[in-house]
Amino acid sequence: MISNDLHSALAPIVANYEPQQIIVVTTQNIYSCRPEVAALGYTTLILQGGEENKSLATIQVIWDFLLSHHITRRGLIICFGGGVLTDLGGFAAGTYKRGIDYVNIPTTLLAMVDASTGGKTGFNYGGLKNCIGSFYAPIETIICPMLLDSLPVSQLLSGYAEMLKHALLANDDEWNRLLRLDWNQPDMNALAPLIENSLRIKQHIVENDPHEQGLRKALNLGHTVGHSLEEIQLADLSSNDRWLHGYAVFYGLIAELYLSVVRFGFPRLPLQQLTDLMVHVYGRPHCKCSDRERLIALMLQDKKNEHADEINCTLLRAIGQPVINCIISPNEMNEALDYLFSL
């Protein structure tokens, strides 16, 4: 549901639970910058945010909090935050007492258009992104675009990358509409209808394949390369310079569109348009050519692979025509990474 009136949107939902059985889970950062959290008036668990805290230890903090507040199977968690928080809160809800209800109130563009819908939950483990997780859908996701007014532009761009991916899976009109957004002067009023379209594209795909048996794999476009870029940074504990999930996906889209051009004759124009966006808006990936071997090794262990020792990608024949389960050889991937790092 899309609404800037959080109270009215929540009222019919919370009416079904005893107030002492409702727990809000959020992060320190959100709690400080969004007065809407405290205004909800429910018992609130404030976690440390950040990808580095998307861990089993944080899940245990949530379980312990629920137990110590005597939350029963008739409880409700309100997950108020970005994608890290909604992934963690959803997993904790799905596993506590074999599953209690939860509602997502995403606060980043990325969480609004992607992470908070579709029911994928989980946390990072063993150095691998989202290695442990489950499918456990929220009873409702409330998209409140006004929450984006405190979000830094880099975080908006992170979400915009997932919107670009959705448009590539949908049609030329949506793609061209998205490219018209001017990132020199981002216009929040222009963003709201685009969020709605983007969500609709994702929901259409998820409803047709909730457990990722086929079509839903199309949503992995850009993510085989993207996840490996994120993982290489997770492994590098000394790096203070981590890029955001959407940036990794954005660079992944470039590499995977390159593979789509080579394998399926995908038109070059969208690849050129993404390259222009990289040069003028996102900036180049700070990766070295010598990282290629490690990236390919990480892709070979990706949980999307159906067999060990192969790289599985979603590619495109054209905008709106995804091809899932494309097996890419390490040599082909090497060439795509070469292309990306040489731009």
**Contact positions with ligand NAD (CB under 6 A) in 140-159:** 147-148, 150-151, 155, 158
Number of residues that bind ligand NAD (CB under 6 A): 33
In whole angstroms, what is the distance from residue 169 CA to residue 222 CA?
11
**Options 23, 58, 120, 141; binder of ligand NAD; rule CB under 6 A:** 120
Task: Output the smallest distance, CB 219 to ligand NAD, in A.
Answer: 8
Q: Which CB, 129 or 166, lies closer to ligand NAD?
A: 129
Q: Is 50 left (phi over 0), alpha (psi -120 to 50) or beta?
A: left
| Residue 169 is a binding residue for ligand NAD (CB under 6 A) | no
Buried b (16+ CB within 10 A) or exposed e, 226-244: bbbbbbbbbeeeeeeeebb
> Residues, the chain, total?
343
104 binds ligand NAD (CB under 6 A): no
Long-range contacts of 134-138 (CB under 8 A, 24+ apart): 134/91, 134/94, 134/95, 135/210, 135/211, 136/90, 136/91, 136/93, 136/94, 136/99, 137/210, 138/79, 138/86, 138/90, 138/101, 138/102, 138/103, 138/104
Query: Applying CB under 6 A, does 314 fall inside the site for ligand NAD?
Result: no
Smallest distance from the beta carbon of 118 to ligand NAD, in angstroms? 5
* Alpha carbon distance 54, 48 (integer Å): 9
Q: Which CB sits closer to ligand NAD, 134 or 176? A: 134
CA distance 293 to 334: 8
- Exposure string of 156-192, with b = 16+ CB inside 10 Å and e = fewer, is bbbbbbbbbbbbbbbeeebbeebeebeeeeeeeeebe
Map the footprint of ligand NAD across residues 194-253, applying CB under 6 A: 244-245
| Binding of ligand NAD by 23 (CB under 6 A) | no
Nearest distance in Å: CB 131, ligand NAD:
11
Window of 82-90, 180-188, 268-276, 285-293 that interacts with ligand NAD by CB under 6 A: 82-90
Q: Is 26 in the site for ligand NAD (CB under 6 A)?
A: no
Q: Which is nearer to ligand NAD, 77 or 85 (CB)?
A: 85
21 vs 107 by CB, closer to ligand NAD: 107
| 168 vs 97: CA distance, rounded Å | 40
Q: Which residues, in sequence order, are bridge partners of residue 80?
A: 105
Look at residue 68 and give its three-state secondary structure: helix
Distance of closest approach, residue 290 Cβ to ligand NAD, in angstroms? 26
Contact set for ligand NAD, span 28-47 (CB under 6 A): 29-30, 33-34
110 binds ligand NAD (CB under 6 A): yes
Q: Minimum Å distance from CB 244 to ligand NAD?
A: 6
With H, G, I as helix, E, B as strand and everything else as coil, classify residue 243: coil
Tell me how far, at minimum, the Cβ of 343 lies from ligand NAD, in Å: 24
Q: Residues interacting with ligand NAD, by CB under 6 A?
A: 27, 29-30, 33-34, 49-51, 54, 81-85, 87, 107-108, 110-111, 114-115, 118, 120, 129-130, 147-148, 150-151, 155, 158, 244-245
